[in-house]
Structure 1
């Protein structure tokens, strides 16, 4: 790298990349689990979603489009803060 222009471009790119990675917001995992057919199946699946950074919430009924029939159960997976 004898050319100053190339060296400056590489240095500027490195600094910009470091700033982007250093200032990036942490990833959040808040999402809804798949729908399970029974409350027992939902509760049995919850431990699979627990980790050092995620925590499954309680199972709740999921309703059809007009809210008249329970179609299954799901839970929210939240990021631990």
Structure 2
């Protein structure tokens, strides 16, 4: 292995792979990501579902209305689930 690393082309490929791997690991986003719950038909159904999303890793936020495409009608309620 030592003799192989004396070759300039192999040495540069190993260095490029190390730098590339470091960039991938260094710039990667964390595995935690917030997400939106499914849409519930009523506010009571939304509030009843929130405790099922609570854990040591997640924290449900307050329910908020979801509107149709032009914002004229409430089509349901959802909440944001935050990861810790």
User: Which of structures 1 and 2 has the bigger CA Rg?
Assistant: 2
Q: Which residue of 49, 54, 57 maps to 1:50?
A: 54
1:48 is paired with a residue of what secondary structure?
helix
Confirm or deny: 8 A CA contact 1:29 1:54 kept in the other structure: no
Deviation at 1:25, TM superposition (A): 4.9
Distance 1:24 1:66 in 2: 36
Check if 1:37 corresponds to 2:41.
yes
Change (3 A) 1:68 1:53: same
Q: Counterpart in 1 of 2:69?
A: 65
* Dislocated runs of 4+, deviation >2 Å: 23-26
CA-atom RMSD in angstroms:
2.8
Structure 2: where are the runs of 5+ without partners?
Answer: 1-23
Q: TM-score, normalised by structure 2?
A: 0.66
Deviation at 1:40, TM superposition (A): 0.2
Q: Counterpart in 1 of 2:7?
A: none
Change (3 A) 1:39 1:24: same
